[in-house]
Amino acid sequence: MNDFVKVFAPASVANLACGFDILGLAIEHPGDEIIARKSNHSGLRISKITGDNGLLPLDIEKNTAGYAAKQLMITHGCQNVGVELEIHKKMPFGSGLGSSAASAAGAVFAISELLSLEISKREMLASAVLGEQRADGAYHADNVAPALLGGIVLIRDNTTLDIIELPVPEQLYVSVAHPEIEILTKEARNILSSVVLLNQHVKQNGNLGAFVAGLYKNDYELISRSMNDHIIEPQRKKLIPWFDDLKSTLIKTECLGTSISGSGPSIFALSKGAAKAEKVHQIMESFFQNLVIEHQVYTSKINCKGAHRI
Amino acid sequence: MNDFVKVFAPASVANLACGFDILGLAIEHPGDEIIARKSNHSGLRISKITGDNGLLPLDIEKNTAGYAAKQLMITHGCQNVGVELEIHKKMPFGSGLGSSAASAAGAVFAISELLSLEISKREMLASAVLGEQRADGAYHADNVAPALLGGIVLIRDNTTLDIIELPVPEQLYVSVAHPEIEILTKEARNILSSVVLLNQHVKQNGNLGAFVAGLYKNDYELISRSMNDHIIEPQRKKLIPWFDDLKSTLIKTECLGTSISGSGPSIFALSKGAAKAEKVHQIMESFFQNLVIEHQVYTSKINCKGAHRI
């Protein structure tokens, strides 16, 4: 058994244009750090939170990471072991980067390591999803699964957490631009119509299937042709006034595709190769500089490790 | 150049539960036979149709196979070459087995062989889809593409005919039961709501992505879990009074999944291995015998050849 573990859990990009609520991938940075250590008190408590501007609750029942950790401990019958959790937020909230998912994924992984539970990451997933549900009200794994497992993940069914780890093409890069404008996930969800036109459903289904095939075939052109969102993007972009401008600028860079990251306001783009990804990165930087909007841009390969000890 | 070619083009199963309008596969039999031969008259004419009970028009403009053949000849600048087409229908109309698609696929392949056009099957596809459009009014390739190319086909986009040939697992079998009750494709299409609930869209998208992944992974369990249709089947089964009975009986056989073939009334099931497929076959047979409904049942591996010379 360990007395102390420190874990990094990455940010993630959900939806990926054609897979609303069912596709997500992990990026190299940013990410949250979770420290778990043994204590002499019985049960779990959160001893410290940094980087949250005082916004996150220390109450286990209300805290994403705390609730996820507690669920895992209950599942494995060790809810009375004394554990202290430190949560170091190193990415923004309400950014569309899966901030709460990273904390939940990091927390369950830290607990499993601290208590030497010897379970697979898939066995931790349900607890982490329950934790995330505290933050946005919905039980879905499109951020939690990539934050925990790494890679590109397809969720066949969010109810049963039937998860498929998709192949990651070697030269695939992801860039994400985060403008410092907060959009609450719940609001971005509430803006969505509860119905979809049948012909739009068919188009989106075709794109999703082709995107999955493109990953297996290592076919970047096919991945690119598939990255269209006929359903969600047209609705959510209304919350992001400069979206169309940035998108049309990015498309000219020969990136594979671009859309809203999760519920926004972050925008992501996939590229083939480091050179094109670097170009996308520069354009994202200068776009927000010109608008005089505080921002961060992150570019990396897909993070295939997910949550891991540091 | 040839003076005479005879072509077989297979029946096909469209939709495959989770891929409305975008998935289809070819079966070994039944199928149509198309004969094309040189003639001294200028241009294309249909000289003979059998097996249609006098229902199909000899007029090129109105005949699926004739129109498809003519489009291909125009595309390749040989519309004045003298060609006679014989169409031997060897499968039922309005069955959900892609009868018109088989005729269209067979016709374009026969023309390309007769005139030694030396083009790929993909280059014939648009003409065949235009032919099929004569029969059901819609421009879509979920029957034509498998009838022509063979295998299991995903259509990313019906407008541009962006087609992906998916892997065919070695032990995959398909059984199709055709009860002799006609449902017109247009009617089965008109019954469908033009909208889909967003949460149903997400479910169907998850299943479609997982079905595609299952084929690449050769994962029969995943294929099986993905074969759910939350959107189309519940609407179309109203036209097929005994559907629920047959489905619940088939599910007990350990088939991978079952649903309506195309727009019905045929029902298909996928199975892993010959023994289970044979069991499905027998159950389909006895089900319709008990109902005293005239029927045919076909069981085979996936037909990976598509349209070919015989």
- Summarize pLDDT for A67-101 with one digit per residue, the tens: 999 999 999 999 999 999 999 999 988 889 999 99
| Better-predicted residue by pLDDT, A184 or A3 | A3
Name the active-site residue from A33, A113, A185, A233. Answer: A185
Q: A225 to chain B: which residues are within 8 Å by CB?
A: 156-157, 162
Flag whether residue A190 sits within 8 Å of chain B, measured between CB atoms.
Answer: no
CATH 3.30.70.890 fits domain A172-301: yes
Give the model's pLDDT for residue A293: 92
CA distance A300 to chain B (A): 25
Q: Are A71 and A130 in contact (CB under 8 A)?
A: yes
Choosing among 3.30.230.10, 1.10.645.10, 3.50.50.60, 3.40.30.10, the CATH entry for A4-166+305-309 is: 3.30.230.10
Query: Where does the pLDDT of residue B139 fall: very low under 50, low under 70, confident under 90, or very high at 90 and above?
Result: confident
H/E run at residue B66: helix B64-75
DSSP-derived 3-state class of residue B245? helix
Global pTM reads: 0.96
What's the CA gap between A239 and A187, in Å, rounded? 9
Best of A205, A216, A217 to mutate (most B CBs within 10 Å, chain B): A205
Give the model's pLDDT for residue B93: 81
* Sign for the pseudo-dihedral over CA of A35, A40, A42, A47: negative
> What are the extents of the domains in chain B?
4-166, 172-301
Q: What is the DSSP letter of A302?
A: B
H/E run at residue A258: strand A257-260
What's the CA gap between B153 and B262, in Å, rounded? 14
- Asked if the domains A4-166+305-309 and A172-301 are classified in one and the same CATH topology, the answer is no
- CATH fold of the domain at B4-166: Ribosomal Protein S5; domain 2 (3.30.230)
Given an 8 Å threshold on Cβ–Cβ distance, is A198 in contact with B198? no
Give the model's pLDDT for residue B295: 95
B70-105: burial string, b at 16+ Cβ within 10 Å, e else:
bbbbebbebeebebbbbbbbbbbbbbbbbbbbbbbb
H/E run at residue A36: strand A23-38
Number of inter-chain CB pairs under 8 A, A vs B: 128
A249 part of the active site: no
- DSSP assignment of B155-184 equals EEETTTTEEEEE---TTEEEEEEEES----
What's the CA gap between A270 and A228, in Å, rounded? 12
pLDDT at B170 over 70: yes
**Measuring CA to CA, which residue among A88, A94, A105, A107 is closest to residue A49?**
A88
Q: A155 to chain B: which residues are within 8 Å by CB?
A: 206
Report the mean per-residue pLDDT for chain B: 94
Given an 8 Å threshold on Cβ–Cβ distance, is B196 in contact with A194? no
Give the model's pLDDT for residue A185: 59
Q: Under the phi-then-psi rule, with left for phi > 0, alpha for psi from -120 to 50, and beta for the rest, what region is B21?
A: left
What's the CA gap between B81 and B97, in Å, rounded? 32
Closest to B195 (Cβ–Cβ): which among A154, A155, A196? A196
Pairing label, strands B162-166, B152-157: antiparallel
Query: Where does the pLDDT of residue B185 fall: very low under 50, low under 70, confident under 90, or very high at 90 and above?
Result: low
B132 part of the active site: yes
Measured N-to-C along each axis, helices A243-251 and A274-291 cross at an angle, to the nearest 10 degrees, of: 150
Query: Where does the pLDDT of residue B35 fall: very low under 50, low under 70, confident under 90, or very high at 90 and above?
Result: very high
Q: Which of B10-24, B208-222, B230-244 has the lowest mean pLDDT?
A: B230-244
Name the active-site residue from B33, B113, B185, B253. Answer: B185
Flag whether residue A210 sits within 8 Å of chain B, measured between CB atoms.
Answer: yes
Closest to B196 (Cβ–Cβ): which among A21, A22, A198? A198
